[in-house]
Amino acid sequence: MAAKRVKLLDVAKAAGVSQGTASNAFGKPDLVRSEVRDRIFAAAKDLGYRGPHVMARMLRTGKAGALGVVFPDNLEYAFSDPVAIELLRGIGRECARHGINVMIISAENPQQAIAAVNNAAVDAFLVHCYSDNNDIISAIQRRNQPLISIDTDIAGAAGTVLLDDHAAAKTAGAHLLDCGARKFAILSLQATEHDHFGPMNANRVGAASHRVVRERMAGYHDALQSAGIAPTDIIHVECDNHSEHSAKMTVEMLVQHPEIDGILAMSDVIAIGALDAARELGRKVPDDLKVIGIDGIVAGERTDPPLSSVRQDSVEKGRLAAEMALGEDTGRTIILETGLLVRGSTKVV
């Protein structure tokens, strides 16, 4: 026969306090005198009390005291990608200010993600770089809790925080034109939820379902078309967002298209791989090959040569998304601006 679960009321009786005081000792300890807290915690330990039941607390207070953050990639990516790390820093900064915790959910395995969403004890969800046409978003929306979209458009979201991706890419393209580049390649982030890495034909470019890819691609094209360079004159290659992979893709591309003298990378991570590929092939950067990324990550300062980029403030992006999720002022769309960082991988002629 299973042992009876020890309840908070049992702990309160053993400690000689009210159930409300015992509850505060676990949830709002600053409201309980230290000697009383010690007595309550000692009673809890003696009785084998496992702590307040999260769902019971939600039913009682209507709050879980946590935000759920949904990433489209695996958890390793969330803790290793420079932009994801900065985003989480911003979310964590705002949550710490409110005394709120963070739960990270990977959407790599949809069925596991749906189960995690259904069971998550959170007050709102932040969804990063994910389209709205999938079962995971539907599962979140069935929770009838605030959903804040980050770098993506989700119908019915309580709020949205975006980078001006079109302007960022247009700035990058215009800069390489100013630097004298005329034969261009675009190294794209993953365009859809289905892997298809390598050269992109016109259909693949047009099928991009991720907002960031669509907007950055359009920004690049607009900048280059102003100089008479049509999208069909540009080499497009889809890369995984890892430098090792983009280096491999860039080597293959430059061997087949040695005439390329300007690389527009949709992320700094991809651009760093392109610099590695140029070094492997003996291409001189920026003399006969110019490379620019988007993000402005710290690692770009340390490459050889240092990487030019279009900077975004990912920490502030995460902070604003969490602020919106935790506040009353929802229903807004915040668009963040970017700034050009000119370093050694590009050179004005």
- Domains in the chain: how many in total? 3
Structure confidence at residue 52 (pLDDT): 65
The more confidently predicted of residues 247 and 113 is: 247
Indicate if 196 and 307 belong to the same structural domain. yes
Indicate if 290 and 224 belong to the same structural domain. yes
The more confidently predicted of residues 96 and 59 is: 96
Using CA of residue 158, residue 162, residue 166, residue 167, what is the dihedral sign? positive
Q: Which residues of 174-212 are buried (b: 16+ CB within 10 A; e: fewer)?
A: bbbbebebeebbbbbbbbeeeeebeebeeebbeebebbb
pLDDT digits (tens, 9 = 90+) for 272-317: 999 999 999 999 999 999 999 999 999 999 999 999 999 999 999 9
pLDDT digits (tens, 9 = 90+) for 126-162: 999 876 557 888 888 888 889 999 999 888 899 999 9
Indicate if 48 and 81 belong to the same structural domain. no
- The CA distance from 291 to 306, in Å, is 10
Contact predicate 102/92, CB 8 Å: yes
Structure confidence at residue 251 (pLDDT): 98
Whether residue 349 lies inside any domain: the answer is no
Structure confidence at residue 60 (pLDDT): 57
Whether residue 34 lies inside any domain: the answer is yes
Indicate if 195 and 217 belong to the same structural domain. yes
CATH code for the domain in which residue 253 is found: 3.40.50.2300
The mean per-residue pLDDT over the stretch 13-42 comes to 88
CATH code for the domain in which residue 23 is found: 1.10.260.40
Indicate if 72 and 25 belong to the same structural domain. no
Structure confidence at residue 2 (pLDDT): 43
* Whole-number average pLDDT of the chain: 90
Indicate if 209 and 155 belong to the same structural domain. no
Indicate if 73 and 158 belong to the same structural domain. yes
Angle formed at CA 55 by CA 122 and CA 105, multiple of 5 degrees: 35
Structure confidence at residue 74 (pLDDT): 86
Whether residue 15 lies inside any domain: the answer is yes
pLDDT digits (tens, 9 = 90+) for 207-230: 888 899 999 999 999 999 999 999
Whether residue 1 lies inside any domain: the answer is no
Band of residue 49 on the pLDDT scale cut at 50, 70, 90? confident
Structure confidence at residue 1 (pLDDT): 41
Find the domain containing 19 and state its range: 8-52
- Final residue before a domain boundary, out of 133, 163, 193: 163
As a whole-number percent, the residues of the chain with pLDDT over 90 amount to: 67
Contact predicate 285/305, CB 8 Å: yes
Whether residue 340 lies inside any domain: the answer is no
Band of residue 13 on the pLDDT scale cut at 50, 70, 90? very high
Whether residue 346 lies inside any domain: the answer is no
Indicate if 153 and 179 belong to the same structural domain. no
Number of helical H runs and strand E runs in the chain: 14, 13
Indicate if 221 and 291 belong to the same structural domain. yes
DSSP, residue by residue, 289-324? -EEEEEE--GGGGSSSSPPEEEE--HHHHHHHHHHH
The mean per-residue pLDDT over the stretch 176-192 comes to 95
Contact predicate 22/39, CB 8 Å: no
Indicate if 139 and 206 belong to the same structural domain. no
- Final residue before a domain boundary, out of 163, 185, 205: 163
Whether residue 275 lies inside any domain: the answer is yes
Whether residue 342 lies inside any domain: the answer is no
Give the C-alpha distances (Å, rounded to integers) separating 103 from 98, 163, 263. 15, 24, 37
Indicate if 197 and 290 belong to the same structural domain. yes
The two tokens of residue 146 are 């605030």
Those residues whose C-beta lies under 8 Å from the C-beta of residue 129, and which sit 6 or more positions away, are 71, 72, 150, 151, 152, 210, 211, 212
Band of residue 124 on the pLDDT scale cut at 50, 70, 90? very high
Indicate if 208 and 127 belong to the same structural domain. no
